[in-house]
Amino acid sequence: MNRPDVGAELSFQTAQYTPGMKWNTAGNLRRTAAFAVLPLLAVPSSFGWGDVGHRMINRLAMESLPADVPAFMKTPEAIAEVEYLGPEPDRWRSPSEPELSAAQAPDHFIDFEYADVIGTLPRRRYDYIAALTAAEITHPDKAAELQPSRVGFQPYITNEIWERLKAAMRQYRDLSAKDEDTKPVEAAILFYAGWLGHYAGDGSQPLHVSINYNGWALKDNPNGYTTEHTIHAKFESTFVADNIKAADVRPLLPAVKPAVNSLGEEWDAYMSYLRHSQSLVEQLYQIDKRKGFDGAGTPEGKQFTEERLAAGAGMLRDLVYSAWVESAKSVPDRQQHPTAPVAASARSNAGVLGACG
């Protein structure tokens, strides 16, 4: 066995299923070493919630949409299409498309422990990048960790796809009102809904919002949580595929509630959702310590996982429904809803960073 080759391959495969693909040299060496001693350990072929979880989330969300969405979204074909698209962004992680794989990897996660260094997160991706970049200078001890691609863009990609979906739905309303062909925009709407579902689903997985994404990474570990780099795939892929059924998740879906605030922006609702996931990170490690996700797991492990998948499906349903409702609103003029010029963004970020200790 050519050990360096095996090491390189295993290191790559491991990086595929972690949410971060964080090319930290030490981390990669650590992961490679962990796998080198377990050469026969099966490496999952899918990531995020895994194929099973992402498909389940997207299907349950579509099946539970309120009755007043357009009829084309309720057909079995539409539901099957959105279900198929649940794992779609994970299909963009192939070594056959290395640039795409690298560019989109940070969209799947956010490490709040680092993101929070900049204070309240700005709503626009490039303002966030600018703020983190500035923080690298004001926090030189954390400069490597504060690189935007290592902190992650989870809420940004979700917000941006939600807005794409809303724009397409507005177009659908417009074409319908003119009695024109809506088939092309229907295809766009289903694609955006399915794509959105992937990230809404990732957001319910506590290990997608923390630096403890694959083994307890904080120096303080008084409770002795696992530091093995296997918990991520075990929880979201292996355990789900082997033990979780859609029929058990469906009854746990939360009641429909609009995923927007009074200004028609879904950002705050989605951030609360991510923060709730963050609040469950330690509980996940506690359940893991009690073997809750090993093999057939425990009732506690199953319940936790089913609730998280239901939360993901509920959030996707609410996002899709809110996009539909919001798409009926007239477009504000640019005076009310300006596109911030770059210079203004930079100034506002300087203000944010001024409060950063």
CA neighbor of 225 nearest in space, from 210, 203, 242: 210
State the minimum distance, in angstroms, from the CB of residue 214 to Zn ion.
14
State the minimum distance, in angstroms, from the CB of residue 89 to Zn ion.
6
State the minimum distance, in angstroms, from the CB of residue 44 to Zn ion.
13
Residue 215, classed as helix, strand or coil, is: strand
Under rule CB under 5 A, residue 236 binds Zn ion: no
Contact 200, 207 (CB under 8 A): no
| Cα angle: 127, vertex 132, 133; to 5 degrees | 95
Distance CA 67, CA 342 (A): 42
Residues that bind Zn ion (rule: CB under 5 A) add up to a total of 3
Residue 213, classed as helix, strand or coil, is: strand
Closer residue to Zn ion, CB minimum distance, 130 or 209: 209
* Max Cα distance, the chain (Å): 67
Write the DSSP string, 104-122.
HGGGG---HHHHGGGSSPP
Under rule CB under 5 A, residue 108 binds Zn ion: yes
Which of these ranges, 156-164, 197-205, 238-246, 253-261, lies near Zn ion under the rule CB under 5 A?
197-205
Under rule CB under 5 A, residue 48 binds Zn ion: yes
Which of these ranges, 1-9, 30-38, 155-163, 195-203, lies near Zn ion under the rule CB under 5 A?
195-203
State the minimum distance, in angstroms, from the CB of residue 318 to Zn ion.
19
Q: Is the four-CA dihedral 190, 195, 196, 200 of positive or negative sign?
A: positive
State the minimum distance, in angstroms, from the CB of residue 177 to Zn ion.
36
Q: According to CB under 5 A, which one of 202, 236, 288, 318 is a site residue for Zn ion?
A: 202
Closer residue to Zn ion, CB minimum distance, 202 or 326: 202
Under rule CB under 5 A, residue 53 binds Zn ion: no
Both structure tokens of 171: 């177009």
Under rule CB under 5 A, residue 59 binds Zn ion: no
State the minimum distance, in angstroms, from the CB of residue 226 to Zn ion.
22
Which residues are CB-contacts of 197 (< 8 A; sequence separation ≥ 6)? Answer: 54, 57, 58, 61, 82, 85, 86, 316
Residue nearest to Zn ion (CB): 48
According to DSSP, residue 139 is labeled -
Closer residue to Zn ion, CB minimum distance, 27 or 197: 197
Residues 253-312 that bind Zn ion (CB under 5 A): none
Closer residue to Zn ion, CB minimum distance, 202 or 306: 202
CA neighbor of 356 nearest in space, from 152, 110, 146, 107: 146
State the minimum distance, in angstroms, from the CB of residue 194 to Zn ion.
13
Binding residues for Zn ion, rule: CB under 5 A, are 48, 108, 202
